Structure 1
Amino acid sequence: MAETEPERMSTRAAFADALPELAARHNVLVVDTDTGSVKPAPGMDYLNVGIAENAAVGLAAGAEHCGRRALVCTFAAFSVSRAFEFIKLDIAYPRRRVCVVGTHGGASGGWLGPTHHATEDLALMNALPNMRVVVPADARQAVSLLGQCLEYDGPTYLRLGRKDSPVFAGLPEPELGVPQEVRPGRDLALVATGPEILATALEVARGLAAAGYDAQVINAHTVDPEAARAVGRAVDADCRWLVTLEEAWTSGGMGAQVASALGARGIRWLPLGVSGFLPPGSHGALLEDSGLTAGAVLRRVLEFVDHP
């Protein structure tokens, strides 16, 4: 069973530390958009094209067409919106082996405000056929899943957080597309994606246990429609209630994919995520305002299961 460790480390920092070795090992061209998240190193093919996300995606797609794997590092808010057409037509449509890395995912842009918050990225990337959409649960999983994205025979989107976030003990090694049951349970399933949200789900499960409910917790580190079908298979056969938690707009996000996969089972569903645009503020305050803290989620879940 996974537990939150005292240490914290951002998935972006773990990515930055691991990228030079992994890029050299897999012969990857790294295209940066002046994010400050990439540490160029000897043996790593690196290009910084500046704040030009469209050009970065097109360049990476062209390199892959010529036989090179490629990675594009951007701010999530800019890759999924400003460069969406290029990701759609240059990467997803021809199934290019390009990994698009979006930093500052969710509300982790904090005080930078709605221009830098990326709460629409899961829905937009999930809409693209062929795209694997990946949200590591912690810094360790970020490194493992980065390596798997660089080996994957197709396009991937890797969402990373900006600042220090929870790290988990007892979390199994991730496998792209395969959800992880991190706490068994039969009454209801809490399906969570991302570090802060998984930590919240584990705390909520303990609160539900005190109230007499046996809660299963599933880490959905891959959140695209194909992975959602795997989540559906992982939900306990006796589950009566489904709760999905994500640091994203719920329309089209992870929860919508999982609920669709489970639709035939008739399980009642409570989607929890970000609603509307967020003002500038600390990451923690924005999660609290969105009702994604453990106390707020526990109250919502208890109301949900107690009032059919």
Structure 2
Amino acid sequence: MLEIEPERASTRGVFADALPELALRHNVLVVDTDTGSIKPAPGMDYLNVGIAENAAVGLAAGAEHCGRRALVCTFAAFSVSRAFEFIKLDIAYPRRRVCIVGTHGGASGGWLGPTHHATEDLALMNALPHMRVVVPADARQAVSLLGQCLEYDGPTYLRLGRKDSPVFAGLPEPELGVPQEVRPGRDIALVATGPEILATALEVARRLAGAGHSVQVINVHTVDPESAGAVGRAVAAECRWLVTLEEAWTSGGMGAQVAAALGARGIRWLPIGVDGFLPPGTHDSLLEASGLTPEAVLHQVLSFVTHP
């Protein structure tokens, strides 16, 4: 059974530690937007273009056109919203081998407020053909999935948090596009993405099991439409209630992709995610305000399964 370790670790932090070696191994041009997340190392091709996300995306696309893999590091809110047209036309349309790394994903920007919260990113990136959208479950998965994104023959978006988040003991090695059943069950499927949300799903499943429910938990680290079919196949054949959990707006996000893939099975669906814009606050307080704590999710799921 998957367990939450006492130590926490930042997906952004391990990305910064792992990037120099991976960039050298895969001959990657690293383009930074003055994020402060990158630690340039000797021999690593690194450019800091400043707070110029559009230029960073265009530069990376041009480098890939000339034969170089490239990675762009930005705040998620700025890459996805500010540079969306450039990502759409310069990277997704020609299927450039560019990895866009968005830090401060979801509500992890906290006190920085709505300008730095990125709750729209999953929906926007999912709208782009060819784009793989990746949300690691913890720091260990972040390193593995970063390496896989740099090997992938096409564009990728890697969403990372800001500060320390849960780390899971016993979590299998991830494979891009392949969901992970981390708790078997039959009646209720909790499909979760991201560290805090997976931790919540596991706690809710434990409490539901105590009330006599058979609960499946699936970790979805690749949340794009291409991966949704695999999630649908992973959901138990006996499942009666589908609950999707994400630190994002639910319109167009992970849950919408999974529900679309499962539509023909007629399973009732409860999407749980961020509802609207969030004020400045701590990450924990914003998750609470969004109904993404174990207590709030448990209440919503019990109401869902007991009221047809």
TM interval, short-chain normalised = over 0.9
Question: What's the secondary structure of 2:119's corresponding residue?
Answer: coil
Question: What's the secondary structure of 1:296's corresponding residue?
Answer: helix
Residue in 2 aligned with 1:85?
Answer: 85
Tell me the alpha carbon deviations over residues 223-269 of structure 1, each in whole angstroms, 9 at most, x when there is no partner. Answer: 00011110000000000000000000000000000000000000000
Q: Does 1:153 align with 2:153?
A: yes
Q: Percent of aligned positions with the same letter in both sequences?
A: 89
Question: What's the secondary structure of 1:295's corresponding residue?
Answer: helix
Structure 1 residue 50, shift from structure 2 partner: 0.1
Tell me the alpha carbon deviations over residues 129-171 of structure 1, each in whole angstroms, 9 at most, x when there is no partner. Answer: 0000000000000000000000000000000000000000000
Structure 1 residue 179, shift from structure 2 partner: 0.2
Q: Which whole-Å CA distance do the structure 2 matches of 1:277 and 1:76 have between them? A: 15
What stretches of structure 1 move > 6 A for 4+ residues in a row? Answer: none
Q: Does 1:272 align with 2:272?
A: yes
Structure 1 residue 43, shift from structure 2 partner: 1.7
Residue in 2 aligned with 1:287?
Answer: 287
Residue in 1 aligned with 2:192?
Answer: 192
Q: Which whole-Å CA distance do the structure 1 matches of 2:20 and 2:141 have between them? A: 17
Q: Which amino acid aligns with 1:113?
A: G
Q: Which whole-Å CA distance do the structure 1 matches of 2:74 and 2:133 have between them? A: 15
Q: Which amino acid aligns with 1:4?
A: I
Q: Does 1:212 align with 2:219?
A: no
Residue in 2 aligned with 1:307?
Answer: 307
Question: What's the secondary structure of 1:87's corresponding residue?
Answer: helix
Residue in 1 aligned with 2:35?
Answer: 35
Q: Which whole-Å CA distance do the structure 1 matches of 2:59 and 2:167 have between them? A: 34
Residue in 2 aligned with 1:171?
Answer: 171
Q: Which whole-Å CA distance do the structure 2 matches of 1:87 and 1:125 have between them? A: 9
Flag structure 1 segments of 5+ consecutive residues without an equivalent: none
Aligned length: 308
Q: Which whole-Å CA distance do the structure 2 matches of 1:10 and 1:283 have between them? A: 13
Q: Which amino acid aligns with 2:68?
A: R
Q: Which amino acid aligns with 1:217?
A: V
Q: Which whole-Å CA distance do the structure 2 matches of 1:213 and 1:303 have between them? A: 13
Residue in 2 aligned with 1:98?
Answer: 98
Question: What's the secondary structure of 1:297's corresponding residue?
Answer: helix
Q: Does 1:107 align with 2:132?
A: no
Structure 1 residue 2, shift from structure 2 partner: 1.4
Residue in 2 aligned with 1:141?
Answer: 141
Question: What's the secondary structure of 1:222's corresponding residue?
Answer: coil
Residue in 2 aligned with 1:2?
Answer: 2
Question: What's the secondary structure of 1:7's corresponding residue?
Answer: coil
Q: Which whole-Å CA distance do the structure 2 matches of 1:258 and 1:93 have between them? A: 24
Q: Which whole-Å CA distance do the structure 2 matches of 1:162 and 1:2 have between them? A: 24
Q: Which amino acid aligns with 2:17?
A: D
Residue in 2 aligned with 1:64?
Answer: 64
Q: Does 1:183 align with 2:197?
A: no
Q: Which whole-Å CA distance do the structure 2 matches of 1:153 and 1:143 have between them? A: 18
Q: CA RMSD, aligned part only?
A: 0.4
Q: Which whole-Å CA distance do the structure 2 matches of 1:292 and 1:204 have between them? A: 11
Q: Which amino acid aligns with 1:15?
A: F
Q: Which whole-Å CA distance do the structure 2 matches of 1:89 and 1:302 have between them? A: 44
Residue in 2 aligned with 1:53?
Answer: 53
Structure 1 residue 3, shift from structure 2 partner: 1.1
Alignment of 1:217-256 (within 5 A): 217-256=217-256
Tell me the alpha carbon deviations over residues 78-102 of structure 1, each in whole angstroms, 9 at most, x when there is no partner. Answer: 0000000000000000000000000
TM-score for the superposition, normalised by structure 1: 1.00
Q: Which whole-Å CA distance do the structure 1 matches of 2:126 and 2:289 have between them? A: 26
Q: Which amino acid aligns with 1:140?
A: R
Question: What's the secondary structure of 1:230's corresponding residue?
Answer: helix
Flag structure 2 segments of 5+ consecutive residues without an equivalent: none
Q: Which amino acid aligns with 2:122?
A: L
Q: Which whole-Å CA distance do the structure 2 matches of 1:228 and 1:38 have between them? A: 32
Tell me the alpha carbon deviations over residues 84-135 of structure 1, each in whole angstroms, 9 at most, x when there is no partner. Answer: 0000000000000000000000000000000000000000000000000000
